[in-house]
Structure 1
Amino acid sequence: MILLKTIRNVKICFAIGFVLLLLSSGTAAARRITVGSDENKDFSSIQEAVNAASPGDTVYVYEGLYIENIYLDKEISVRSISGIPDMINITAKNSNDHVFHVNANNVTISGFYINGASDPLKAGIYLENTHGILISNNKLSDNHLGIYLDSSTTNMLNLNNVSGNEVGIFLKASKDNWVINNKVKVNSLDGILLEASDENRVTGNLLNYNIGYGFVLSNSSRNLIYNNFFQNNINVGYEGTNSENTWNMTRKRGINIVGGPYIGGNYWTGPESIALCAVDDLDDDGFCDVSYDLGEGNIDYMPLILHPSAFQGNERSITFSLLGFALFVFAVSIFIVKKVMSWGKGELPEDDVK
């Protein structure tokens, strides 16, 4: 009996250790490199920290003003320590260069106020021939281009505030990227511009008061554009040949960008906040009962109607997503423990079990 209890205790300890190993795998060798103005930090400039980093490392930047242009050519993360962009200002030292020039895959840039790349075709963040990049929770202004993707695929631009540039977000020859949940406002030319860029997904964005166009397609096809809020002088513009772009998804239950009960198309309004689709919603599904013609063969078949509880759904869906992930991790842990506990059952002689 004592032997059986000992074996069970060993199994439990092994199972717990195995779960912890799974959760921490891949991070053991990663380093935490700090950037700040005091002596306790590893470096005083972001570029110095990037130069010293190895793939998999994370550079944490503390509050302050950093005047530099950063070239990033390795698979690392660069994050603000606070997660509050206004507390960490990165201004271009040379306005004729990008503030961040990324020429590596699987990079994260998050939590910065990025500005000062004002010369033509220079960007706050420039991705050159990359994939697997996450650009999240940044504020970009006073650049010629806020975020510029050049020949880049499978990247995500999420929760950025891209305002007060000439062009907010520019995709050139880029495919299969996700542009989601960004605020793209008051840019002097265009909000989002897709040039020779196909099969991208653009959803959950607020495009407000951009002076030229809110959204421009230039020789770009098969993009999916849905659940965005358009409020610009001219919401959509076209250049060249654009085909098979889709402006709504199949109706799906979920809180849309203006608080309605289903996700489908986009919300369309003008600078004076007069809805461009103002017909009755007889079936009360949150969509206009007629489609919205965007010109040149582009049609939103499920344009949204403003709902009183606008913008309250995003926080709710995020909360449920995090809860679901936590439950999933817990269930996997229990499964592994049970599996390990079952190892060796029936292998002990009867005399040892008694």
Structure 2
Amino acid sequence: MRVRVSLLSVLSLLLIVPSINAEQGATQAPRTIVVALDGSGDFTSIQEAVDHAKKGDTVFVKPGAYPQDLTVHSKEKIKLVGAGVDQVTMLGRDDVVGVLHVGKWPYGATDIEISGLTINEHGGHALGIFNGKGITLRNLRVKGMLFGQQVQDVRIEDCVIGGSETTGVQFADSQATLVGNFIHDNDHGVNVAGKSEVRLERNIITRSLFEAVVVTDKAKAVLVSNTLVKNGGGAAFLGSSQSEVSGNVVGLNKVGFLFAGSGRAAMSYNALYNSEADYVRAGSPNTPAPDLGSASDIVADPRFVDAEHDDFRLRADTTLLNKGQFPYLGALPPLSPASANHQKK
């Protein structure tokens, strides 16, 4: 018996085979690509490892001080994981400003997670995010400025960011959430500019030369349950910015809140304890503006455990418990009575 195969059938088969191969490639199991300076991994260069990473892959960086910089662009859904902030440091290169860049015009980057690294500054910048979406930065130590421009769905959590001669974290025309970070020793802590929309929740911002938070231009910010302490000022609302500010501890600064231009902020249940004034209008000189306060403000010593040594937990006898919808004000929960008694011993 003869089997007749038409030319159309042959062409159909030829079209199906590449399609099957493409589907198999798309379902390739995620890989872990290892970087090690001593050659024991797949690469000695973090950049080469990231360049070889495909969607779903993880680049793991072994301990070491890497005299390298990195740009992550044209990538989707990859993870860069270091062995730990005390074990992996990215130092950068002499001829490059900044050390780690995520996204790049016009290419961008999508769904990128980075964790477990220390990133040094170089040329005034440490980490930049540009033209990206879905960027998560977790458990990083950033020594210098973290800058974001035209990025969306950024989440920065449990990071230590400090030592910038300008601003610790700055966003322009971006959307971001900062949760549980320790931001310290910068000229300004966080700057929210342009048409950005940024939420700050349970962050500690301390030892800023000027304000812990600046919201300016047409930006929108939500500050909830943060501890803004030992700064030149707590927060400044400038330009035509709009903010919501609730459940924060703003204390041990020179000034609590400063307003300029048509900047506005809706206040509720904030604890204030500042040396010069809690509310001021910008001018030459600035003028106290108690009329800008809220009836729900709590003006009292927050009773930190040890503010001198950056222990901003609340003592068990604090008056900042059960205020409005907040079980406690600020970023850190209070000591339990049992813990307080143990510390006394």
TMscore range, shorter length: 0.5 to 0.7
Q: Pick the structure with more strand per residue.
A: 2
Secondary structure of 2:122's match?
coil
Query: 1:1-354 maps to which residues of 2 (within 5 A)?
Result: 29-73=29-73, 74-75=75-76, 76-80=78-82, 82=83, 84-94=84-94, 96-103=96-103, 104-119=109-124, 123-141=125-143, 143=144, 145=145, 147-166=146-165, 167-174=167-174, 176-187=175-186, 189-231=187-229, 232-239=231-238, 241-248=239-246, 265-271=247-253, 293=279, 295=281, 302-303=296-297, 306=302, 307-309=314-316, 313=333
Q: CA deviation at 1:95?
A: 5.8
In 2, are the aligned partners of 1:69 and 1:94 still within 8 Å (CA)?
A: no
Secondary structure of residue in 2 paired with 1:115: strand
Change in Cα spacing, 1:271 to 1:287, as seen in structure 2 (3 Å) is closer
Displacement of 1:238 after TM fit?
A: 4.2
Residues 90, 29 of structure 1: alpha-carbon distance in 2 compared, 3 angstrom cutoff: same
Per the normalisation by structure 2, the TM-score is 0.65
- How far off its partner does 1:54 sit? 1.0
TM-score by length of 1: 0.64
1:178 maps to amino acid: T
Q: Which has the higher contact order (CA 8 A, sep 6+)?
A: 1
SS in 2 for 1:41: coil
- Count, aligned residues: 254
Whole-Å separation in 2 of the counterparts to 1:238 and 1:287: 16
User: Gaps (5+ residues) in structure 2?
Assistant: 1-25, 104-108, 258-268, 283-288, 303-313, 317-329, 337-345
Identical aligned residues as a percent? 22
Matched residue, 2:326: none
Instruction: Tell me if structure 1 keeps the 8 A contact 2:234–2:256.
Output: no
Query: Could you tell me whether the CA contact under 8 Å between 1:236 and 1:294 is conserved in 2?
Result: no
Q: Structure 1 residues 314 and 71, CA, compared in 2 at 3 Å: closer, same or farther?
A: farther
Q: CA deviation at 1:198?
A: 3.2
Rounded to whole Å, the distance in 1 between the matches of 2:87 and 2:272 is: 46
Deviation at 1:222, TM superposition (A): 3.0
Query: Would the alpha carbon gap of residues 117 and 39 (structure 1) be closer, same or farther in structure 2, given more than 3 Å must change?
Result: closer
Q: Cα RMSD over matched residues?
A: 3.2
1:294/1:139 Cα in 2 relative to 1: closer, same or farther (>3 Å)?
farther
